[in-house]
Amino acid sequence: MEMVKVSVITPVYNVEEYLEETLDSLVNQTLAPIEIIMIDDGSTDRSPDIIKEYSRRYPNIISVKQENSGPGAARNNGLKIARGEYISFVDSDDILPRDALESMYTAALSKKSAIVLGASLSFNKTETWFIGSHYNNKVYEKGEKNLIANQELLYSLGPCNKLYRRDIVKDITFPLGIKVTEDQPFVIEAYLRAGGDIYTIDKVIYNYRSRENEDNLSLSQTVRVNSVSVLKDIMKSMSISDSLWDKYIDNEVARFQVKRYYYNRLVTADIWPALRNAVDSRNRDITVQTFGIFNEWIRGLDKHFFNEIHSLHTVIFKNLVNRFDLLDSSGRKSYQECLDIALKKISFKTEIRLLESPAFESTFKAARKSGEKNSFLPIQMYVYKRKYIRFNSKVNTAVIRRIVFPLCKLLPLQDKITFASSKVASLQDSFECLYDEIEKSRPDYKVVGHFKKERSFKDYVKLYYDIATSKYVIVEDYYRPLYKLKARKGTEVIQTWHAAGAFKKFGHSAVGYRESNTKEFENQAHGSYTKVAVTSKEIIPHYAEAFNISEKNVYSVGLPRTDVFFDQEGIEYLRKKYEAVYPAMRNKKIITYAPTFRGGPGKRSSFNIQLDLKKMAEELSDEYVLILKLHPSVTKGVNIPKEAKDFVLNLSKNDINNVLSITDILISDYSSVIFEYALLERPMIFYAYDLEEYLQDRGFYYEYKDFIPGPLADKTEQVISLIQQNAFDIQKVKAFKERFFEVFDGQASKRFVETLIKPIKKS
């Protein structure tokens, strides 16, 4: 009898719609001889007839019938009769590429491998895609592997898309009585038995059919309606797998590492979906029973091992909190028990006082007295009663965002305005202008500010408390604490963007350019805004696009910090003040070079000045001084030639409004400072030595050369010549100003407050 190279084992249950396609992919394999073992698991549709017909046409198809017992029993029966040198499992609705078995078999022989696996694709009626967890964890990188060194193999625990040498698996069985994750112990034991004889080929050898939206799902796509039975199955399967680590891995450290990886994967891929479905069902019995199983499991975990399962922390402190509103009183009690167990087990390096301040004590006491229905009071009081709670630094902020912020949203909304920024260190720029106006026209509002770049735990708690209880939250840039945050009803989150006008593209408008963020990042960063303030109607569409917000929520009120440019007495005072501090300015005109940064976030700290400062000093120092005002992102110093020391002043740390106010000629490139400076109706030069390259990085809202309100230069000699010849068209600057600003009265702060900050209603 001719030796069978590969036995293909396929459990079949009610897949008449897809079975012929699967069988066609098997009988047309380029490898021969193979045997195809079809195990009918008590099908009630036409599947048995299809198997019978193919068996008649293809003698290498073996047909076996059994009572409905599940795919595990079917695969076990197939293993008993398999004669192949190697074994492969294929689900009855999936498809193998024609050379799949030959590719794996050839690799198995050449590499002397006990297990060979390759890449899988998922497909449905309209598209094909790589399986995310496999791709992201680099499961299918080519080469020799073993489970201890290549723990990413644990993301491929399905029996399919693999070729097993028969002697490795002939006496391993799929556990019976388990419908979900029943294949994991089998694959894990096969991996462990194979040792270092596992090989991955860089080729797609399996096509997995995705039928989540159809009624008749495959055995591997069981709808997890009953989360209770699903979680029970997962626990049984996990218990079997636990015994395998002890049986096959002698080294204690290696055993711990592999088990830790497996548990993290299991929580993410299996346990959390079951728990999530229970919560989403809003079925009290299912939710309570599922939590009961879950809570019992985490209660039994070793404290040290619990702290190593980071995905479990995410589930408890983030994912479940995010769905807290879906729980009724019984579900919330079950979650409180879960939280109690988890917090008793968490043991981290730093003890943090939580909600220690008297302000929070009185706040939560007031909340307790309010007796609101469906509130977070069980968690509030639980957290408050614990004077110290140890938190993992990796989930610290997530805990605050997902527990403290939601529970604070249930406290009364206050007549409070919160200014927040990670870019400025105090109340300055537009914030300062708005604060002064609020004090005048909306004095009944309480105003608070959060300006720290580095925050302690208590700082974060106070920050999210203020965001949750303020009627207005005002930001002026990207603000990470707001990312993915949904403000409460009644709170306006207003973006008064730090840059005026619309020059280089930003936010969603910049997605796709070389130095841009991803669309997903921009969605997270700007999704919380309810209103945006801009300088003119001309740019409303641009800001609406950049922040992915409706144009009706973008208001042309002006940029508050530009009010200072209409204060002539203040500008004259600034000039005298600067001349007193910097004597080199006396009796000289001031040129300011204010370029924007270059490159992505990792490159912006440095700036290579292309202007020949020595030559400029030689040609212009009799009449001018040059101020350097580099972008705030540029944190590394610049070298000024000794020949230009008396000509160049590096005032990069000075307030930009102050510097612009005393500037006679501005040299810039792609910076938005040109909009503010245009209000002064003074000359500008655009030194754009890298225009074509910069266009690839960012892009502009307008055609650059037609847009700029001043002459273009790309060499130092041109800049010098323009200054010496006074070759400027101020009418062009005025037209530019009138295009991007609508009112010139120094009252932008007043318009902002009158338009966007409602007066407090007197009761």
Does the residue 452 lie in any domain? yes
Give the residue-averaged pLDDT of 502-515: 84
The structure tokens 């297990």 sit at 115
Kindly state whether residue 356 falls inside one of the protein's structural domains.
Answer: no
Residue 57 sits in a domain of what CATH number?
Answer: 3.90.550.10
Distance CA 75, CA 64 (A): 11
CB atoms within 10 A of CB 350: 10
Q: What is the pLDDT of residue 478?
A: 92
- Residue 358: strand, helix, or coil: helix
Query: How many C-alpha atoms does 359 have within 13 Å on its Cβ side?
Result: 7
- Averaged pLDDT score across all residues of the chain: 86
In a domain, 291, yes or no: no
pLDDT of residue 434: 95
- CA 598 – CA 607 distance, rounded (Å): 7
Question: Which residues on adjacent β-strands are paired with residue 119?
Answer: 204
CA distance 258 to 527: 39
Tell whether 622 and 737 lie within a shared domain.
yes
Q: Is residue 503 domain-shared with residue 604, that is, in the same domain? A: no
Write down the pLDDT at residue 602: 63
Give 69's contacts (C-beta < 8 A, 6+ positions apart): 41, 42, 176
Backbone angles phi, psi at 690, to 5 degrees: -125, 40
Residue 375 within a domain: no
- Residue 689 makes CB contacts below 8 A (sequence gap 6+) with 610, 669, 714, 715
The domain tally of the chain equals: 3
- Of the candidates 543, 562, 581, which is a domain's last residue? 562
For residues 114-137, give the mean pLDDT: 84
Q: Max CA-CA distance within the chain? A: 106
Torsion sign across C-alpha atoms 349, 353, 355, 359: negative
The DSSP element (H or E) to which 713 belongs, if any, is: strand 712-713
Verify that 441 and 486 share a domain, yes or no: yes
Distances (CA, A) of 679 to 560, 652, 700, 721: 13, 21, 21, 25
Q: Give the closest residue to 654 by CA, choosing from 680, 682, 673.
A: 673
Give residue 367's pLDDT band: very low, low, confident or very high (50, 70, 90). very low
Q: Among 62-66, 226-230, 463-467, name the most confident range.
A: 62-66
* pLDDT tier for residue 377 given thresholds of 50, 70 and 90: very low
Give the pairing of strands 554-556 and 531-534.
parallel
List the domain range (segments joined by +) for residue 621. 568-743
Spatial CA neighbour of 375 closest among 330, 332, 342, 318: 332
Whether residue 102 is found in the same domain as residue 127? yes
Tokens 């936010």 locate to 507
Q: Are residues 472 and 601 in the same domain?
A: no
Judge whether 595 lies within some domain. yes
State pLDDT tens for residues 644-702: 999 999 998 888 999 999 999 999 999 999 999 999 999 999 999 988 888 777 788 99
Please tell me whether residues 478 and 548 are part of one structural domain: yes
576 assigned to some structural domain: yes
Residue 393: predicted pLDDT: 36
**Average confidence (pLDDT) over 105-115:** 97
Of 562, 582, 607, which marks where a domain is finished? 562
pLDDT greater at residue 674 or residue 397: 674
Three-state SS string over 639-666 comes to CCCHHHCCCEEECCCCCHHHHHHCCCEE
Contact 469, 412 (CB under 8 A): yes
Does 282 reside within a domain?
no
DSSP label of 487: P
Claim to verify: residue 581 and residue 550 sit in the same structural domain = no
- Please report the pLDDT score of residue 397 as a whole number: 66
| CATH number of domain containing 449 | 3.40.50.11820
- Of 509, 530, 529, 532, give the one whose Cα is nearest residue 519: 509
73 and 160 fall within a common domain:
yes
**Long-range contacts of residues 368-376, Cβ cutoff 8 Å, at least 24 apart:** 372/410, 374/325, 374/329, 375/407, 375/410, 376/324, 376/403, 376/406, 376/407, 376/410
Considering the domain boundaries, does residue 642 fall inside one? yes
Confidence at residue 408, expressed as pLDDT on a 0 to 100 scale: 86
pLDDT at 643 over 70: yes
| Each residue's pLDDT tens digit, 555-602 | 999 999 999 899 888 899 889 989 888 889 999 999 999 998 887 666
Same domain, 688 and 722: yes
Q: Are residues 613 and 720 in the same domain?
A: yes
Q: Residues of 148-159 as b/e, b for ≥16 C-beta within 10 angstroms?
A: bebbbbbbbbbb
Same domain, 526 and 630: no
Choosing from 220, 248, 266, the residue where a domain stops is: 220
Report the CATH number at residue 630.
3.40.50.12580
526-562: b (≥16 Cβ within 10 Å) or e = bbbbebbbbbbebbbebbbbbbbbeeebbbbbbbbbb
Burial label, 44 (beta-carbon count in 10 A; 0-12, 13-18, 19+):
exposed
SS3 206: strand
The answer to whether 487 and 669 are in contact (CB under 8 A) is no
| Whether residue 468 is found in the same domain as residue 529 | yes
